[in-house]
Amino acid sequence: MADIEAMLDALNDQQREAVLENGRPLLVLAGAGSGKTRVITTKIAYAIEKLGIPAYKILAVTFTNKAASEMKQRVKVMLDGNARADECTIRTFHSFGAWLLRRFGSEIGLASNFTIYDDDDSLSLLASCFPNYKKRELEPVMRKISYAKDRGLRPTDNLTSLKVDGTFKRMYEAYERKLRSIGNVDFADLIGRSIELLEEKPGVLDWVHHRFSMILVDEYQDSNAAQFNLLKLLVGPACFICVVGDDDQSIYRFRGAEVRNILSFPELYHGTRTIKLEQNYRSTKHILDVANSVIKNNKGRHDKKLWTAKTKGSKPNLLYIQDEQDEAMRVSNILLSDKKFNESAVLYRTNAQSVAFETMFKRLSIPYKVVGALQFYDREEVKDALALLFLLTNEKDEVNFKRMINKPARGIGPGALDSILSFASQTDGSLFAMLRLAIQGNILSTKAKAGASYFLRMFEHAQAMLGEGELVDCANFLIREAGLLDYYQELDSQNSTGKVGNLEALVNALSSYDSSLEGLLLFLEQLSLDPTTLGREDPRDKEGVTLITMHNTKGLEFDRVFVAGLEEELFPGRASESDDDIEEERRIFYVAVTRARNELYLLCARARKIWGRTSYQHPSRFLDEIDSSLVSVQGIRPGSLHASGFEGFSSLGEKRREHLSAAKPSSSWGSSGGSLIQKGFGGNAKTFTMKTVHDEADAGPLFPVGQRVYSDSYGEGEVVNVRMNGDREVIEVRFGGGRKATFISKFAQLEKIGSE
């Protein structure tokens, strides 16, 4: 029997109040490390042990799958191995949606074997609706569709708030129609279609209301409009609702998170009790001071008092270093000095930054684990194998069918594929039925017919195997017979890659699932929802330094935290243009810094390789917001007049100044080659921007539309658009091959051609 009294005794007064309040709607609004998550776990234990609420009637919603599994673990420990702990539903919003739709989706025409499309699959589907467009052109459309869905806007709704035109509406409609006809869902649908289900089927709504009598939401500040609407539906008249959050930690605005959800909670739920927690149990005062000195620059935040009893400890360190290798080296030296690997984490703004650390750690034999980066699931060979499995569970899955019908090549070119798909109207959408008709109809070339027959027979055989409950054998069979094993073995031997090993890891991961179609569906679902946990060891089980993006660190804590890359255009990120963007970046900084319990290192490089080019960096504005008395500074700040005092680096400092002073439009061919950074969706967008380093007096328009220009990176091009961003003129240039790039005029290293 768990000792609930002891658990309550360990809480401070406000936390205890929050645990004991189980009548009125409850909003716990508090800063980082104040015990919000602990309140939720204690509430669950208290509800089960003291209030006698059956565990299955409790729903807790967390922000990441990792947080969900940690919460499950914590509750289990608290309940002292009480088996009922497992009956609580602890999930993310998305995984809850998947759970609900698997059970009741058929009521709105969604078969229970649906698979969940990721961004890539969704884009392929959109591309299949609009074959005349390039995928690159459709990327922004797809992003906007997800954006609309996160806001709960359907194609038939009034979309004026999105500032889109009729073409977008048509595309959104076509995409949605196709997705529904295939019977799959995209990520946003897990929420959107759950809402549709609950709105349209009162019986299901009633079931949900009877099922859950207590709903608890962690990280509520990052819920988006669609999630907010779903929650509204889930909370029945007799249900207790508690949400916890921190408006300063809202960092998913780009995914549609609405910080206003937390602030408007009391308006929606009348009689809401708001409890504020004011003691931070995680960090030292030195660390909190740094976090607070930056976050206080955000306007319109809820004023929060946060104090800590941890007044000892050393000041956070601010390290000015040379470049990304020096950064990794400094971090390594500190780690090697006391070997506290497990207690340390390196936080960065973009996934690409992990590479320098990984390389250095490997070289120095420092154990490490990368959380969430380089997703196993995104690797080509893994996606191929999964595509076969997805197709096995849903034979209407056109995206995965197209991916695999001719990979490796089996004689089915685009013409043959079109012929096969032309049978769609004679089937219920089953691609295997289309294959059968195409084979019988004698319209394929001999080679294509042989390939199509082979592909079809292979799947018929796999379906039979699955029917007999041989999941792993079936996966092995498909991977081998489809030719993937040979194909990737060949690539491995040519390039010393480990692709076959990844295929093996995938099958290994599958082996812990029930050997049936249900087992396969569950596997695919978990994979879609949390690609980080499969195919690689669970990070929690592995020893070593944690390498992690700032976004992924939500709710986590480490004894020692290194915040890397505190440089303008990296952090704050380069897409940050408006004040709102900067405020969001500042909140990310706040989240990052408040992960640290005892030691904090802030790192700022003078130069960094970005897409293969050396970029001379400028310290992050957030560093300017930290009172200098709060940190111990090592190294010389870039741009400082004393830069030459930095051994071995004066030449780079000089180059930076050269680069800046030579930043005139037509003749500046600086030695650095500029600092072009790729930004965008899935790493594929082709928008480039020059660094915005210093503001100079406005010199009037520098480039007209139509101006021909030459760039040594891109070749010849033409200015197609000129606009002002604040006081900076920004031009868009179209180069050969349709490649477009955006430049800040006064720093653009472009030569004007045919004028002057």
Ligand X SMILES: Nc1ncnc2c1ncn2[C@@H]1O[C@H](COP(=O)(O)OP(=O)(O)OP(=O)(O)O)[C@@H](O)[C@H]1O
595 flagged as catalytic: yes
Smallest gap from Cβ 35 to ligand X, in A, equals 3
Query: Considering only residues 19, 25, 26, 34, which one is a binding residue for ligand X as defined by CB under 6 A?
Result: 34
Residues 6+ apart with CB under 8 A from 469: 515, 516
36 is in an annotated binding site: yes
Smallest gap from Cβ 615 to ligand X, in A, equals 32
32 is in an annotated binding site: yes
Binding to ligand X by residue 139, rule CB under 6 A?
A: no
User: What is the spatial distance between Cα 163 and Cα 144, in angstroms, rounded to a whole number?
Assistant: 10
Interior angle at CA 573, CA 639 and CA 651, nearest 5: 25
35 is in an annotated binding site: yes
Binding to ligand X by residue 430, rule CB under 6 A?
A: no
Smallest gap from Cβ 550 to ligand X, in A, equals 12
Size of the site for ligand X (CB under 6 A): 18
249 flagged as catalytic: yes
Binding to ligand X by residue 282, rule CB under 6 A?
A: yes
User: What is the spatial distance between Cα 99 and Cα 522, in angstroms, rounded to a whole number?
Assistant: 10
Name residues contacting ligand X, limited to 551-590 (CB under 6 A): 555, 557
Binding to ligand X by residue 35, rule CB under 6 A?
A: yes
Residue 283 contact partner, candidates Mg ion, ligand X, none, CB within 5 to 8 A by sort of partner: none
Residue 353 contact partner, candidates ligand X, Mg ion, none, CB within 5 to 8 A by sort of partner: none
Binding to ligand X by residue 11, rule CB under 6 A?
A: yes
Partners of 240 in beta bridges:
214
Q: Is 499 helix (H, G, I), strand (E, B) or coil?
A: helix
Tokens of 8: 């309550």
Binding to ligand X by residue 596, rule CB under 6 A?
A: no
Cα-flanking dihedrals φ and ψ of residue 307, to 5°? -130, 165
Dihedral angle sign, alpha carbons of residues 168, 170, 175, 180: positive
31 is in an annotated binding site: yes
User: What is the spatial distance between Cα 162 and Cα 154, in angstroms, rounded to a whole number?
Assistant: 12
Binding to ligand X by residue 74, rule CB under 6 A?
A: no
320: exposed, middle or buried (Cβ count in 10 Å: 0-12, 13-18, 19+): buried
Smallest gap from Cβ 540 to ligand X, in A, equals 15
Q: For 694, left (φ over 0), alpha (ψ -120 to 50), or beta?
A: beta
Closer by beta carbon to Mg ion, 587 or else 656: 587
Closer by beta carbon to ligand X, 490 or else 559: 559
- Applying CB under 6 A, the span of 35-43, 262-270, 524-532, 686-694 interacting with ligand X comes to 35-43
692 flagged as catalytic: no
Smallest gap from Cβ 450 to ligand X, in A, equals 58
Binding to ligand X by residue 304, rule CB under 6 A?
A: no
Asked whether the bond before 131 is cis by omega within 30 degrees of 0, the reply is no
DSSP string for residues in 622-635: HHHTS-GGGSEEES
DSSP string for residues in 529-559: H-GGGSSS--GGGS-SEEEEETGGGTT--EE
264 is in an annotated binding site: no
311: exposed, middle or buried (Cβ count in 10 Å: 0-12, 13-18, 19+): exposed
Q: For residues 528-562, b (16+ Cβ closer than 10 Å) or e, as one string?
A: bbbbbbbbbeebeeeebbbbbbbbbbbbbbbebbb
Binding to ligand X by residue 292, rule CB under 6 A?
A: no
Smallest gap from Cβ 39 to ligand X, in A, equals 7
Cβ count within 10 A of residue 751: 16
Query: Considering only residues 19, 26, 29, 32, which one is a binding residue for ligand X as defined by CB under 6 A?
Result: 32
Closer by beta carbon to Mg ion, 37 or else 227: 37
Catalytic residue among 227, 249, 350, 692: 249
Binding to ligand X by residue 217, rule CB under 6 A?
A: no
Residue type, 116: I
Catalytic residue among 14, 36, 189, 349: 36
Tokens of 112: 């229970």
Smallest gap from Cβ 56 to ligand X, in A, equals 24
Q: Is 241 helix (H, G, I), strand (E, B) or coil?
A: strand
Residue 282 contact partner, candidates ligand X, Mg ion, none, CB within 5 to 8 A by sort of partner: ligand X
Are 370 and 353 a contacting pair, CB within 8 Å?
A: no
User: What is the spatial distance between Cα 166 and Cα 160, in angstroms, rounded to a whole number?
Assistant: 10
219 flagged as catalytic: yes
64 is in an annotated binding site: no
Query: Considering only residues 2, 7, 14, 15, which one is a binding residue for ligand X as defined by CB under 6 A?
Result: 15
- Intra-chain end-to-end CA distance of the chain, in Å: 86
Tokens of 95: 């995984």
Catalytic residue among 76, 499, 595, 606: 595
For the chain, state the CA radius of gyration: 28
Tokens of 121: 């699959």
Closer by beta carbon to ligand X, 15 or else 354: 15
Catalytic residue among 37, 64, 322, 689: 37
Partners of 49 in beta bridges:
none
Catalytic residue among 70, 139, 186, 219: 219
Binding to ligand X by residue 692, rule CB under 6 A?
A: no
Residue type, 674: G
Interior angle at CA 92, CA 88 and CA 94, nearest 5: 125
Closer by beta carbon to Mg ion, 64 or else 528: 64
CA dihedral 526, 256, 138, 373 (to 10 degrees): -50
Beta strand 116-117 with 89-92: parallel, antiparallel or unpaired? unpaired
Are 220 and 243 a contacting pair, CB within 8 Å?
A: yes
Query: Considering only residues 18, 27, 38, 435, which one is a binding residue for ligand X as defined by CB under 6 A?
Result: 38
Binding to ligand X by residue 49, rule CB under 6 A?
A: no
Query: Considering only residues 281, 376, 513, 681, which one is a binding residue for ligand X as defined by CB under 6 A?
Result: 281
Closer by beta carbon to ligand X, 349 or else 587: 587
Smallest gap from Cβ 595 to Mg ion, in A, equals 11
Smallest gap from Cβ 40 to ligand X, in A, equals 8
Residue 549 contact partner, candidates Mg ion, ligand X, none, CB within 5 to 8 A by sort of partner: none
Smallest gap from Cβ 23 to ligand X, in A, equals 23
Residue 11 contact partner, candidates ligand X, Mg ion, none, CB within 5 to 8 A by sort of partner: ligand X
- Helix, strand, coil: what percent of the chain each, to 5? 50, 15, 35
Residue type, 154: R
Smallest gap from Cβ 152 to ligand X, in A, equals 26
| Contact code string over 237-276 relative to ligand X, x by CB under 6 A | ---------x--x---------------------------
Binding site for Mg ion (CB under 5 A): 36-37, 555
363 flagged as catalytic: no
Query: Considering only residues 7, 18, 19, 37, which one is a binding residue for ligand X as defined by CB under 6 A?
Result: 37
Residue 35 contact partner, candidates ligand X, Mg ion, none, CB within 5 to 8 A by sort of partner: ligand X
749 flagged as catalytic: no
Are 249 and 221 a contacting pair, CB within 8 Å?
A: yes
738 is in an annotated binding site: no
62 is in an annotated binding site: no
For 550, what's the count of Cα atoms within 13 Å in the CB-facing half-sphere? 28
Residue 69 contact partner, candidates ligand X, Mg ion, none, CB within 5 to 8 A by sort of partner: none
User: What is the spatial distance between Cα 100 and Cα 189, in angstroms, rounded to a whole number?
Assistant: 12
Binding residues for ATP: 30-37
Binding residues: 30-37
Which parts of this chain interact with ligand X (CB under 6 A)?
A: 10-12, 15, 30, 32-38, 246, 249, 281-282, 555, 557
- Among all residues, which ones are annotated catalytic? 36-37, 218-219, 249, 595
